[in-house]
Structure 1
Amino acid sequence: MLPTSHYDKAKADRAVKFIENLCHTKGKWAGKRFWLLPWQEQLIRDIFGIVKPDGYRQFRTAFVEICKKVGKSELAAAVALYLLYADNEPSAEVYGAAADRQQASIVFDVARQMVEMSPALLKRSKLMTATKRIVNYGNSGYYQVLSAEVGGKHGFSVSGLVFDEIHTQPNRQLYDVLTKGSSDARQNPLHFIITTAGTDRHSIAYELHTKAVDILEGRRVDPTFYPVVYGLKDDEDWEDEANWYKVNPSLGYTVDIERLRDAYREAKQNPADEVTFKWLRLNMWVSSTVAWIPDAIFMKGNEEIDLAALEGRDCYGGLDLSSTGDITALVLMFPPRNEDEKYILLPFFWVPEETIPQRVKAASVPYDIWERQGYLLSTEGNVIHYDFIEKFINDLAEKYHIVEIAVDRWNATQMIQNLEGDGFTMVPFGQGFASMSGPTKDFYRLLMEGKIIHGGHPVLRWMAGNVVVDTDPAGNIKVTKAKSKEKIDGIVAAIMALDRCIRNQTEPQGSVYDERGLLVF
């Protein structure tokens, strides 16, 4: 909070009184006064009551991340109506935005019903249901639902914005258009963002989530940003009912504990239901699929790597060759030399340079940023140049003693033959259950124990969050590219590299291939 800001009780009371004169529109509360719950009242009092010396609000952006079924739409609608009718803003322009017009209309329809149930508001309003607009004749202002398309929105003069479920935004364009510059002509704008957690950690929603958490935990300061996050962290116990109350401030009011217990019992029986329970009921950031590697588990290996200390050491490679237009991944795995050491993982990734802008646009994944930061390498043109990668691997061999490189046995490319000609031991590696299950389970176990160090490499972290596993009736597992939502090449390469590490550590007298035979190309 700014040192010169202060709490204006009269302004806070005014906002609370306005909202509590509205009526609920849904369920058993329909038609009843909108008495704010404690957490809601605190939020409203802070946003509208904390002001700068000039009397204008301190907060320009309020970010509220909270579970489903807590009265989110009703609160968002009430805020939109206050900004339209009671904020003393001439010619107010209040906009409702979401991933699409239908989603944005949810809050609008609640607001429209609230106006219809308020004779004082209705007599000075025009409700335009077809165009999703509420006009306030008193100040020549309006509340308007926007479509998701960005074009044509640069000319707005936003006095108020209610952004619903920002986690569903495919990119940050709509958010940027409506919040950066569109409110410059207004003295007292407010961007009210209310959402549940999402599934994409490379989204504008997660960016805002991270900012909110950083402010709450004292790592960042922004006096114009009001953060509210009701959600469990990855390392908190999702099965503890005390934590359910912690992140469900409406539990016991709009949310029934028995309903939550029923959902929990279903979650214990089905991994997909577990994901849904964590996401919607506990407001946790999870993958939309049944993710194999939770981010908290992966990040146990986020320790700094001393590259100089690795020079000359034995290591084992996993090479996942792409088609000519896709990602190629190489992982070097350095085995521990004693019981006190951990495995050290060095990943390298290549993409065709000309495909990067298209990848960013299509998937909203920051390939361009990773390339600038050096975490992703590019080869000229729109296809992978294997000769470039071959030279890179030979250069790596000048630094590290690469004992073996495991490679998918179906990728019998000229590059593999060239590497063999350069003196590398290339080990064919199948991608089925028989070959993958053992090292895949070992990889997860070592991540769980914090015994694989990777330095938090962002490309590998993203890939870890994409991994989905297949299971056969015997309980064998393998990672599957077909079902994973995005690229996982680095994880596949890491598992193959780990396999070679473990086999050479546990079988110093010979190779596993002495017994089962060599799988030829």
Structure 2
Amino acid sequence: MVADLLLKYPQSHLINYIYKCQTEEIIIGHEITQQHDLLLEHFSDPDIRVDFTEANKRIKFIEEKCKHSEAPFAGKPFLLGLFQKAFIESIYIFYIYDQEIYDRHTDDERSKSKELSCDYGWVRKHQDVLLLVARKNGKTPLIAALCLAEFFCGEKGTKALCSSNDYAQADLAFQAINAMREESPALEKVTRKNIKGIFFGNPKNPKRKGKFSYANKGNILKISAKTGAKEGKNIRVGMADEIHEMKDKTPIMPIRQALSTQDNPVYFELTTEGFVNDGYLDERLKEARQVLNRELERPRWLIWLFTQDSEAEVWQNEASWVKSNPGLGFIKKRSFLRSMIEESKTSNSTRAFVMSKDFNFKQNNASAWLMSDDINNTETFNIEDFRGCFAIGSVDLSKSGDLASARVTIMKKGSRKKYTLQKYFIPESKIADLNKDDKEKFLDWIRKDLVTISPGNENDFSLITAWFVGLYKDYGLRIYKVGYDKWSAVYWVKEMEDMGFECIRVDQSFGSMSEPMKLVEADLKGKLLNYGDNPIDRYCLENTALNINSKAEIMPVKIQSKENKKIDGSVTMIIGYRIYIDNRSEFIRLVEGS
């Protein structure tokens, strides 16, 4: 069938692309194949017209008028790859008849209609477009170029809106559009940009008439999920970038509804996979896959999901990487992807990010942090060997209901290895609330003096202060600084400072916790962190998951389904490492001089 269509439409990039995919000259995943099968049926559907005029117009506009603005392609023409041309064609070559739109227009308007795309009653079949593709495959520049093409090649008065979950991301898409406009003298000559957006009309030629004058009220604006007053807009082109960060459809629906008055609107959603569980993207992908499986009817929805068929093939077959990275080789560097795969083999946080962003595998946003081999370390040490040494203190405080943890991190002169000594605290009343397995563990740890009981219902923070003071009195440990979390700490910090300790608050956020958490992981893997084979530390590490954001930053959380377990020991390790990283040079100097 495809070969016959290629003879009938030799100029079609879409058919040529599908043909090369079917002959395995181009490797694609199962979900792209499903969309191709749906598109092929359109060519034989008597209710669908096929016309390449508008698709060719936009492809020609992009390749002749648009230029890249960022290295390594800055200043070069925007030459589209075959998969990009096929994607554009799939949007613009199929038309269906809509009686409602025909009835809305007068006989005079209908008689003036010449071209198919303006032939009242016939409209583009695909008006809602979802593009899921791995990062750095040119998705934002491609859709930005299409928005600019719509602005110039579409109807007079076309209004476009760039949207994302935050203003910075929305601005990336807007700036990509504007950079292409500025790179082209012909486009820049008939448009202007200000703080509000991009508009037609050149101030140097205010009396000019026609489509490219002030009389054309079309514009390109940007908006974020956090921006108010989204209702009331009337746009023809909508673009929502990185929708994986959206928790629900609230930011999206006003934009989609703003397209409802148009005959030929187009709404683009472009994204990679993300880490938000049960978010907007999860809902959209669930429905999209139902459409591809022919379980759900969404005839106006075009779905391009560049995905792998299995995670195993990523590790075993490099040739399969192109399934989720169609721009591999001419947009995205293969060597970069190889380096990310190698790094993923030794870093769980990198692996989760790469699987999500480079191969479009959904990752639980609370994925397990460490492997058993990373955690299991039976090495111990004698505190007597560290008499008079400098140490960094860290605490994770809890007034009630949770475990409190205190820790010192010590280093020896001439060694990169770190040793931690720890103490845990729990309110007496909370022991009875533990489940059977944990209760037995904690009673054993209490007998071994690994946990100190605070009488009553609350942790007594003065016991933590006494523990730090005792380390100095008994072993001469000199506490350089003490890191603490922000909860329930005001009076305890004052007590510690009265005893001569310098306390530093460590914010429990991605920006603060990511770097030290990664270093703790690396040191555990490299056996450069000796926690004295403390069973509570091991217990906490086993319960700790890593939460990842879109910037590849991580922070500790409890593993899902283990919400009643404790991770306080892991948190104090990370807090201690935060203080170490922020004061590395001075602390090492003290260690080497001691």
| TM-score, normalisation: structure 2 | 0.51
Please name the residue that 2:294 is paired with: 218
CA distance in 2 between counterparts of 1:238 and 1:482 reads: 22
Quote the offset at 1:487 in angstroms.
7.2
481 and 9 in structure 1: CA distance in 2 versus 1, 3 angstrom threshold: closer
Counterpart residue number, 2:252: 175
Q: Which amino acid in structure 2 is aligned with residue 133 of structure 1?
A: I
Aligned to 1:56, what secondary structure does the other structure show?
strand
Contact 1:15 1:48 in 2 (8 A): no
Aligned pair partner of 1:92 in 134, 158, 183: 158
Amino acid of the structure 2 residue aligned with 1:478: E
Query: Percent of aligned pairs with the same residue?
Result: 22
**Could you tell me which amino acid in structure 2 is paired with residue 286 of structure 1?**
Q
Q: Displacement, 1:144? A: 0.3
The reply on whether 1:196 has 2:272 as its aligned counterpart is: yes
Shift in Å, 1:280: 1.8
- 1:9 corresponds to which letter in structure 2? F
- In the alignment, is residue 265 of structure 1 matched against residue 342 of structure 2? yes
Match of 1:37 in 2: 81
| Partner in structure 2 of residue 186 of structure 1 | 262
Cα 1:282/1:433, change in 2 over 3 Å: farther
Match of 2:191 in 1: 125
Q: For 1:269 and 1:426, how far apart are their aligned partners in 2?
A: 36
Please point out which of 6, 14, 19 is paired with 2:62: 19
Structure 2 CA distance for partners of 1:159 and 1:247, relative to 1, 3 Å: same
CA contact (8 A) 1:212 1:228 kept: no
Q: Distance in 2 between matches of 1:225 and 1:244?
A: 26
Q: 1:101 to 1:432 in 2, by over 3 A?
A: farther
Q: 270, 284, 287: which is aligned to 1:208?
A: 284
Contact 2:545-2:558 at 8 Å conserved across structures: yes
- What is the distance in 1 between the residues matched to 2:341 and 2:162? 33
| Aligned position for 1:318 | none
Report the 3-state secondary structure (helix = DSSP H, G, I; strand = E; otherwise coil) of the residue aligned with 2:252: helix
Distance 2:91 2:444 in 1: 58
Report the Cα distance in structure 2 between the residues aligned to 1:113 and 1:49, rounded to whole angstroms.
28
Q: CA, structure 1 residues 434+175, in 2 after alignment: closer, same or farther (shift >3 Å)?
A: farther
Deviation at 1:411, TM superposition (A): 4.2
Q: 1:231, CA displacement in angstroms?
A: 2.2
Task: Give the superposition deviation at 1:489.
Answer: 7.0
Q: What is the CA RMSD across the aligned residues, in angstroms?
A: 3.7
Distance in 1 between the 2:443 and 2:123 partners? 63
Q: Which residue of 1 aligns with 2:542?
A: 478
Which residue does 1:116 correspond to in 2? 182
> Structure 1's 488 and 273: CA in aligned 2 closer, same or farther, altered over 3 A?
closer
Question: Please, which of 214, 236, 239 is the counterpart of residue 162 of structure 1?
Answer: 239
Q: 1:412 to 1:64 in 2, by over 3 A?
A: same
Residue of 232, 251, 255 corresponding to 2:308: 232
Pair 428,40 (structure 1): closer, same or farther in 2 beyond 3 Å: closer
* SS, match of residue 237 in structure 1: helix
How far the C-alpha of 1:258 sits from its partner, in A, is: 1.5
Query: How far apart, in 2, do the equivalents of 1:174 and 1:280 lie?
Result: 22
Displacement of 1:150 in angstroms is 5.1
Question: 1:205-228 CA deviation, whole Å, 9 max, x = no partner?
Answer: 121122222322333231111111
Q: Structure 1 residues 99, 478: closer, same or farther in 2, change over 3 A?
A: same
Q: Quick check: 1:433–1:478 contact (8 Å CA) kept in 2?
A: no
Number of equivalenced pairs = 342
After TM superposition, the structure 1 = structure 2 runs for residues 450-469 of structure 1, keeping only pairs within 5 Å, are: none
With the length of structure 1 as denominator, give the TM-score of the two structures.
0.58
Q: How many angstroms apart in 2 are the aligned matches of 1:270 and 1:479? A: 18
- Show the 5 A alignment for 1:329-348: none
User: Retained in 1: the 8 A contact 2:349–2:546?
Assistant: no
> Is 1:74 matched up with 2:150?
no
**Cα-to-partner distance string for 1:273-319 (whole Å, 9 max, x where unaligned):** 111211221122113454369xxxxxxxxxxxxxxxxxxxxxxxxxx
1:56 aligns with 2:123: yes
Instruction: Give the SS at the match of 1:47.
Output: helix
Q: CA deviation at 1:147?
A: 3.3
Work out whether 1:247 is the aligned partner of 2:294.
no
For 1:433 and 1:214, the matched residues in 2 are separated by 52
| Counterparts of 2:77 and 2:546, CA distance in 1 | 51
Matched, 1:280 2:324: no
Does the residue aligned with 2:173 lie in a helix, a strand or coil? Answer: helix
Q: Deviations over 1:114-166 (max 9, x none)?
A: 111222222221111x2343446633200001133353111011211111111
Change in Cα spacing, 1:473 to 1:269, as seen in structure 2 (3 Å) is farther
**CA 492–188 in structure 1, closer or farther in 2 if over 3 Å, else same:** same
8 Å CA contact retained: 1:166, 1:195: yes
Decide whether the 8 Å contact of 2:366 with 2:557 is kept in 1: no
- Alignment of 1:9 with 2:52, yes or no, is yes
Q: Deviations over 1:473-520 (max 9, x none)?
A: 86766324897877767446799xxxxxxxxxxxxxxxxxxxxxxxxx
For residues 66-96 of structure 1, the C-alpha deviation after alignment (integer angstroms, 9 at most, x for no partner) is 11111122112101112211112x3222000
**Displacement, 1:196?**
0.9
Q: What does residue range 432-447 of structure 1 map to in structure 2 within 5 Å?
A: none
> Could you list the runs of 5+ residues in structure 2 that have no partner in the other structure?
1-37, 98-120, 202-210, 371-398, 403-426, 446-520, 525-530, 548-554, 567-594
Tell me, yes or no, if structure 1 residue 429 matches structure 2 residue 505: no
Deviation per residue, 1:332-355 (Å, 9 max, x gap)? xxxxxxxxxxxxxxxxxxxxxxxx
CA 1:485 to 1:228, structure 2 compared with 1: closer, same or farther past 3 Å?
A: farther
Paired with 2:239 and 2:95, the residues of 1 have a C-alpha distance of 20
Q: Indicate if the aligned counterparts of 1:199 and 1:286 stay in contact, CA closer than 8 A.
A: yes
Q: Kindly indicate whether the alpha-carbon contact (under 8 Å) linking 2:241 and 2:270 is maintained by their aligned counterparts in 1.
A: yes
How much does 1:270 deviate? 1.0
Change (3 A) 1:14 1:262: same
Q: Could you say which residue in structure 2 is the equivalent of 1:151? A: 228
Change (3 A) 1:95 1:482: closer
